[in-house]
Amino acid sequence: MNFNLDDSAPRYIYKAMADHITRRIESGELQPRQPLPAERRLADEYGVSLGTARRATELLRERGLVVTLRSKGTYITDPNEQADQTHIGATTYGITVTQEHRTGPVIPDFALSHGVAVDPTIEKRYTAEEPRAFSPTTTRMVLEEACRKVGLDARGASLMWLGAQALYRLESAPLVVRIARTMDHWARTVKEVNVARWLAELDFPAAELFAVGQQPLSVSGHPVSFWRFIHGSPATPDHAGDFGKSLSRLHHLPAPTDFDLPRLDILGRVETRVERASVPDADKDMLLARCRELRDEIAKLEFPLAATVIHGAAHINVMIDAGRLVLIDFENVAWGQPEWDLAVAATDHLTAGWRATRQYADFTDAYGFDVTSWDGFHTLRAAHEITMTTRIMHKIDHSLDFAQEYQRRIQLIRTGEAGRPRRPC
């Protein structure tokens, strides 16, 4: 049967597929507490791509119909249990949602084996009446509960950012509340809190925790932390000298002794982004193959500098507050080679064209080492060029600008034209 949609229906294959699976769950064909068929099996069953099956599964999670348990798979939830929790075996996980990922538009006369179509009543039932997404509505509820726990007033709080995390600025106190998407981010949030405390003890200019007692908190399935609001502005390329001094000081700090940092995995998150992205398989195959090549090359590098604490993304996480440069966002802090932090800054100059020659010279003079003089730099540069491309993969359905810039970056990787400037996204 042909896959037909009326003009008012959402024009996405994955929604129709999710609607059909929803009906199978509601009819009892798929039983609560039983595993949902694997995404690859669903893709074969419905005659769609693996990416489409993955998006459909994410929508089912958004509706609260399934929950994915680490190392166990995806299970159908039991409607008779609490709405925000699913109990399978001895493990309890909060149901959380990803709303960022979408697949491509419906192809006219596209045929699915079940002849399914989008059902607007299902979408209304699971999104209008019971919103479960990581959205302004749901994150504000988490914010209010978190503030109640620590005696803060959430009234009048403004949403500053909603992406991998939700950031709220309180009106009642000079602080920012950070809410992570899922408890999968718990260890990372704990690390961010530990790093902030460690830097504060060393009097290093960086983002500071707001004193509310023990942090982070677990609130309705989300890690929550509280940070002092920084009354400043983002650093500009003209602050390259200050940035070089700050990075040098960070790299020369003694290692923390009361907590462990993860080892730097330069391409770990890159490969995950590629595998989950709604991009052509040819792009995925090329990028993953290139990642494998780069892993082999990185393993053979002889680094001139000693391993130390690195920031991982300092080039985009610096602010100027009261005339001094402040490092923020410790999500990527790790133990590894400082050449990576330096190579990121160099690639921003040589590949992206985001720093002028004078500004990059200010950076290297202040730091005391120019990583481009090392013969292993080209390998780290290639790794960061892939990182720059995969960071915008999940946004290509958000706007034409993102889609065009992604196509531009992927083509530059294919052709090896590394020196052509990228557009900021």
Q: What is the CATH number of the domain that holds 348?
A: 3.90.1200.10
Mark whether 194 and 312 lie in a shared domain: no
Residue 404 CB contacts under 8 Å (≥ 6 apart), including other chains: none
Structural domains in the chain (count): 3
Mark whether 243 and 354 lie in a shared domain: yes
Mark whether 106 and 18 lie in a shared domain: yes
Mark whether 221 and 243 lie in a shared domain: no
Average pLDDT taken over every residue of the chain: 81
Mark whether 239 and 335 lie in a shared domain: yes
pLDDT at position 39? 86
User: DSSP string spanning 202-259?
Assistant: TT--B--B---SSS-EEETTEEEEEEE---SEE--GGGHHHHHHHHHHHHTSPPPSSS
Structural contact between residues 183 and 191, judged by C-beta atoms closer than 8 angstroms: no
Mark whether 331 and 187 lie in a shared domain: no
Query: Within a domain: residue 423?
Result: no
Mark whether 298 and 217 lie in a shared domain: no
Neighbours of 257 (CB within 10 A): 7
Structure tokens at 198: 């460690």
Query: Within a domain: residue 159?
Result: yes
Among residues 111, 128, 145, the one where a domain terminates is 128
Mark whether 31 and 114 lie in a shared domain: yes
Query: Within a domain: residue 424?
Result: no
- Residue 120's domain spans which residues? 2-128
Q: Indicate the SS3 state at residue 382.
A: helix
- pLDDT tens, N- to C-terminus, the chain (425 residues): 233 333 333 346 778 888 889 888 888 888 887 889 888 889 888 888 777 888 888 888 777 788 766 446 788 876 554 333 333 332 222 222 222 223 333 333 334 444 445 555 555 554 443 334 678 888 999 999 999 999 999 999 998 987 778 999 999 999 999 999 899 899 999 999 999 999 999 999 999 999 999 999 999 999 999 999 999 999 999 999 999 999 999 999 999 999 999 999 999 889 988 988 888 899 999 999 999 999 999 999 999 999 999 999 998 899 999 999 999 999 999 999 999 999 999 998 988 787 889 999 999 999 999 999 999 999 999 999 999 888 888 777 766 777 888 888 898 888 876 555 555 54
CATH of the domain at 191: 3.30.200.20
- Give dist(CA 142, CA 415) in Å, integer: 46
Provide the H-helix boundaries in 117-236.
Answer: 120-123, 136-150, 186-201
- Give dist(CA 37, CA 44) in Å, integer: 11
pTM strictly above 0.95: no
